Structure 1
Amino acid sequence: MRQGVIMLLIVSLVLAACTPDFGKDEEIVQETDKSTEQAIIPKYKISDEYYRTILPFKPGKARGLVNYTVYNRLDINELETGLMRIALEHFDPEDYFFQEGQYVTSKMVEEWIGRQSEKNVEGMNPPLNEKTATTEDFRKNPKYLSHVLEHNYLKKTNDNKVELGGIAIGLAMKSVYNFNEPTMGYPREEPISLQEAEKQGKAMAQQVLQRLRNIKALDGVPIVIALFLEKPRESVVPGNYFAKAYVSGNASSISKWETINERYVLFPSQEGKDQYYDDYTRVMNFKSDIEQYFPNYVGVIGRGYYVDDQLQEMTIEIPIQFYGKAEIIGFTEYITGLMMDHFPPYITVNVYITSIDGQEALIRRNGGEEKPFVHIYR
């Protein structure tokens, strides 16, 4: 009976999700310091957690560079989505629209994240002649800053135009500095403490702010700057933002920093067991119940997102070794029931079921909602 109810829920939710009311796109005029262009604001909004994007889409001036400066793919994703999450607190998505950064170019970022030298006076990382430096020199003078990310937020005026209303800047700070030992070329690493990353990041943020204020188009524009701490390259959970500052449009210095207390925790792990035992137990019980009836699955990997040490969202990946669609449907039904039983309704839970062929099923229940969304890929 329970499986039949879940299967009906799967069908009804998928059908409901496929028929949104998109309405009619809104035509507006986008003004910049150089031109006036026709643009479109999409009528349909995915959720209150996302901004609508001005069309036609304008690629950022530093687009793609992050793939060469930040080495962990999870960090890259969180650097961007986390910055959007911070922007929500200052630029209401009901009034503002998203656009990739149009003012900080690839050349500027490459100069800023480079070492300061006679050839690169814009470099913000410590000066060091890497051709003659010793291992100890590298350890004492690590590169702290690895990337500068820019997001633009546009707002609509009374005469049906949009203009730049705010900027968000994310500075990606290293937690581990990787370098090659100078004589033999062996890979080496130097850990960087949060305290040191914070000290260096706040000093660099002030430099970035002053440089942005020298751009004529950004005069009078509010700017949010946030500091992101990367995880080591091999980490299976992303890093997190740990500090932010809001600078009003008429200010050219940062007067106040706010601490951001958020983090991602891997389950199962010793860290999860030691610091979040209740959540660790939920994941382990969830895993144990799967093992009772489905021996062909590979395992459970969970990532908990915490704000102020309170679990906000749990994302679980379940690799499987099934061979038929009927088996996948049955497994998804069973997992949906287990998810509802093991995780309290105030927590957002995402379950991704995958195989060697790719994504097989998605189960999601938003915090505060009673029913999950279930989709089985065809």
Structure 2
Amino acid sequence: MRFAKWIGGGLLVLILGAALVFFGNFYHENSSNVSKSTKTSSSTTNSKITSKSGIQVTGKASDTEYKTVVKDGNYLVSKARGVTSSENASNAFNTTSFENGLLEVAKNHFSPKSYIFQEGQYLSSATALNWLDRKSSTNSLGLNPTDNKKYDDSRAPIYLQTIEEQDFMTQDGNNLKLSGIVIGLAMNTQDSYQKVQYGATYTQDIAKADMIAHGKTIAAEVIKRYRAMKSVGKDVPIVVAMYAQAKNDSLSGGSFYAWAQSKSGDSLGTWNGINDATVVLPMQDGTTYAKAVATETNKSFVKFQDNIEGFFPNLSSVTAQAAFNGSTVKGMNVTVTTQFYSATEIQSFANYISQVAPNYLPTNVPVQIRVQTSTGLQALIVQQKNEKTYTVNIIGSY
């Protein structure tokens, strides 16, 4: 039997923490940049600004980042984040690339220069659980197909794995107004299941055409349900972005493949393709992303790998995930696993990496290099977007 569940809180915090660094999408300012505060109202999409407690709008470091919403001094978290349709989904990379990629899609529709970001507040966790479950006699809201009790190629798989909502507000005088919503729908490319509870786990591959077709049907139904929410209404623009999950044993996350917009009412506009991909480096035989830029990026990464392995021979592995949009590198997440335990060795090694990385790794895009041992993270070396130099952070140092 399949159960919708919450991803473990501790794991999720770690994943999201890494996600906010990777690709540099979403850095927050501290309380010294907080602007006017607001008081929420449950009967309207506007929030009246007051000078006391309530909702506050933070500042931001640049026009490429969103101001965000804080309630009573605490970050206003999503009501449904972390809800997933299956107990068996275990690829943590999917969560990272899904949330980061969804924010990038949002920026193409709701500019950080004009909109304020708010975590999803309209889809509750209880509703999300029902939507992600199978349709049945006890759950008419299930967006996944009814269980046909088959365990061969004719089995009805779980297509929709996760749903994520992001809200975009505008400040209108003394009010915050809901002015846009982005909904991410993560679709399975492979479904894991058990024939009996606590039994062996089996996998069922989902054809790309079937995933796309079911995704379109699900997206249309999701739009209708959002439009039925009184707090959303009929005229708030809603963008739906479709994400193809990587398989559980993949060393990288999945990628977004399409988006469509509902400008008003229940109708969903034309579908538009998204040419995103995540490639594991060094590239292995069978890598399907055939763009020339991936080959060149891989060659440079192998040189980087050889360089640092020659400088410090006690390395266990050097791998990376490179994010592409067509023929453009969007960012890179590098993991260096070493056997070092000496603080001076880690310091020297991290400084060396920061010096040689610009010679081999992409510049002007977010790059995160994690140096870790069996005991945990030792150093974090980060290049921000539109920069060519790295900042070194030694974990546990003063």
**Distance across 2 between alignment mates of 1:223 and 1:184:** 40
SS at match of 2:70: coil
Residue in 1 that maps onto 2:4 = none
* 1:75–1:184 Cα change, 3 Å: closer
Q: Partner of 2:21 in structure 1?
A: none
Deviations 1:203-235 (A, max 9, x none): 110000011111111112111111111111122
Report the equivalent of 1:194.
208
Give 1:270-281 correspondences, 5 Å limit: 270-271=285-286, 275=290, 276-281=294-299
Matched residue, 1:124? 143
Check whether the contact 1:150–1:170 (CA below 8 A) recurs between aligned residues: yes
Cα separation, partners in 2 of 1:324 and 1:251, compared to 1, 3 Å: same
Deviation of 1:356 (Å)? 2.9
CA distance in 2 between counterparts of 1:346 and 1:363 reads: 15
User: Is 1:99 aligned to 2:118, yes or no?
Assistant: yes
Name the structure 2 match of 1:247.
Answer: 262
How many residues were matched structurally?
A: 352
Q: Give the drift of 1:308.
A: 0.9
Task: Choose the corresponding residue for 2:177, options 163, 186, 190.
Answer: 163
Residue 71 of structure 1 deviates from its aligned partner by 3.2
Q: Secondary structure of the equivalent of 2:36? A: strand
The answer to whether residue 309 in structure 2 is matched with residue 287 in structure 1 is: no
Bigger mean CA offset, 295-304 vs 318-327 = 318-327
After superposing the two structures, state which structure 1 stretch, 356-365 or 93-102, moved more: 356-365
CA distance in 2, matches of 1:183, 1:371: 52
1:149 aligns with 2:149: no
What's the CA shift for 1:172? 1.2
Q: 2:321 touches 2:334 (CA, 8 Å); kept in 1? A: yes
Gaps of 5+ in 1: 1-19
Give 1:4's aligned residue.
Answer: none
Paired with 2:386 and 2:198, the residues of 1 have a C-alpha distance of 57
Work out whether residues 78 and 238 of structure 1, in 8 Å CA contact, stay in contact via their aligned partners in 2.
yes
For residues 274 and 285 of structure 1, do their structure 2 counterparts lie closer, same or farther at Cα, with a shift above 3 Å needed? farther
Distance 2:304 2:112 in 1: 36
8 Å CA contact retained: 2:84, 2:129: no
The amino acid across from 1:162 in the alignment is: L
Kindly report which structure 2 residues correspond to 1:195-214, keeping only aligned pairs within 5 A, or say none. 195-214=209-228
Write out aligned runs for 1:1-378 (5 A): 23-34=32-43, 38-43=54-59, 45-56=60-71, 57-66=75-84, 70-129=89-148, 133-136=149-152, 139-157=154-172, 159-181=173-195, 185-219=199-233, 220-248=235-263, 250-268=264-282, 269-271=284-286, 275=290, 276-366=294-384, 368-377=386-395, 378=397
Q: Equivalents in 1 of 2:224, 2:243: separation in Å?
A: 20
Q: Structure 2: which amino acid aligns with 1:26? A: S
Higher alpha-carbon Rg: 1
Q: CA RMSD in A?
A: 2.5
SS in 1 for 2:158: coil
2: distance between equivalents of 1:164 and 1:30? 14
- Taking only the aligned residue pairs, the percentage that are identical comes to 27
Does the CA-based 8 Å contact 1:66-1:76 persist in structure 2?
Answer: no
Structure 2 residue ranges without an equivalent (≥5): 1-28, 49-53
Return 160-169 or 197-206, whichever deviates more: 160-169
CA 374–280 in structure 1, closer or farther in 2 if over 3 Å, else same: same
Q: Report how far residue 118 of structure 1 moved.
A: 2.5
TM-score, normalised with respect to structure 2:
0.81
Deviations 1:305-338 (A, max 9, x none): 0001322212211111113222112212221222
CA 1:106 to 1:281, structure 2 compared with 1: closer, same or farther past 3 Å? same
Does the 8 Å contact 1:39/1:54 carry over to 2?
yes
**Separation in structure 2 between the aligned mates of residue 63 and residue 341 of structure 1, nearest angstrom:** 38
SS in 2 for 1:302: strand
Q: CA deviation at 1:347?
A: 4.5
How far apart are the structure 1 equivalents of 2:190 and 2:176?
Answer: 41
- Assess, with a 3 A threshold, how the Cα gap between structure 1 residues 185 and 67 changes in structure 2: closer, same or farther: closer
Q: Quote the Cα distance in structure 1 between the aligned partners of 2:170 and 2:370.
A: 36
Greater shift after overlay, 345-354 or 78-87?
Answer: 345-354
Query: TM (normalized to structure 1)?
Result: 0.85
Q: Is the 8 Å Cα contact of residues 116 and 123 (structure 1) preserved in structure 2? A: yes
Secondary structure of the residue that 1:300 maps to in structure 2? Answer: strand
Assess if the C-alpha contact under 8 Å between 2:150 and 2:156 holds in 1.
Answer: no
CA contact under 8 A between 1:139 and 1:190: conserved in structure 2?
Answer: no
Aligned in 2, Cα 1:103/1:24: closer, same or farther, shift over 3 Å? Answer: closer
Offset from partner CA, 1:333-354 (integer Å, 9 cap, x none)? 2212221222353444321112
2:85–2:132 CA contact under 8 A, matched in 1:
no
- Paired residue secondary structure (1:195): helix
